[in-house]
Amino acid sequence: MASRQRLNAKTIRNMKPEDRAKLLNDLRNELLRLQTQRARGTLDNPGRLRAIRRAIARILTIMNEEARKAASQ
């Protein structure tokens, strides 16, 4: 999965908007799956929750920056 690679801002900015939206959807699904595992007590890597939440926030921030930039032009 692409979420295993380094998701820094530079990588996300270089993605196409469609790819970024697909990655966001995939990360949200994975986050939901991991939250379910945490509730059941079967979560193997609790640090992964934090990494996914941060990646989601990073993607949304970049999407909002681009939307504001497009609206101001």
Read off the pLDDT of each residue in 23-33 and give the average, rounded to a whole number.
Answer: 98
Give the C-alpha separation, 50 to 5, whole Å: 15
| pLDDT at 6 (0 to 100) | 77
> How crowded is the C-beta side of 70, counted as CA atoms within 13 Å?
6
Q: How far is CA 44 from the centre of its chain?
A: 20
For domain 2-72, which architecture applies? Orthogonal Bundle (1.10)
The reported pLDDT for the residue numbered 19 is 97
- Report domain extents, the chain: 2-72
User: Band of the pLDDT at 45, cuts 50, 70, 90?
Assistant: very high
